Amino acid sequence: MSNLELLLNQYESYITAPWQPSKAAPQRVIFVIYDPRDERRLRARVGEFELATGRAKKGWLQYDVTNSFAQWMAAHEYRENYFEAPEDLSIALVEFEEYVSGEVRGLLGNPDANDNTVVAVLGVASLLGYMSVAKLVESVEKSVRGRLLVFFPGQHDDAVYRLLDARDGWNYHAVPITAKE
């Protein structure tokens, strides 16, 4: 059985268990953690995660942040200035963080995103260098009514998450789902 099949089985086992509505915000966040080399394979199989969620009688909404930076930059008033002086972009990254967080919060606030819905976020590797996944999750976690599922290419050791196997990580209390469990 491949790692992605094991991961899907672990996810399905978790998502079919009864949800306790009294969970704290960080405990309503699920990280599906996989090897970054499996990104394309995982994306090809995201539909299977959606089907598993449906079999558990849960709703599914999905947001892909992969193109968020390009979309934000294309609409930015000073984009030409940033292309001429990229070092000045660091000032505007706070706006980008709010843009991405606002997009995810918007989906979490969707009438279809109720207490019985999984809101899945893909493409978080594309945030590297612009925004931390920790900031994104912490900025939206209070808006989660059902579950927030983050597809996370990286590692998890104890409560420390490392995006793309980076040296630095952060401690977070989400539910980790790996192929190893």
**pTM, rounded to two decimals:** 0.88
Percentage of the chain exceeding pLDDT 70: 85
User: pLDDT tens, 148-175?
Assistant: 999 988 877 776 666 666 655 555 677 8
Place 81 in a pLDDT band, splitting at 50, 70 and 90: low
All structural domains of the chain, each given as residue ranges with its CATH number in brackets, are 3-15+28-177 (3.40.50)
Distance CA 26, CA 176 (A): 11
Residue 32 CB-density burial (10 A; 0-12 exposed, 13-18 middle, 19+ buried): buried
Q: Write b or e for each residue in 76-94: b if 16 or more Cβ atoms lie within 10 A of its Cβ, otherwise e.
A: beeeeebeeeeeebeebee
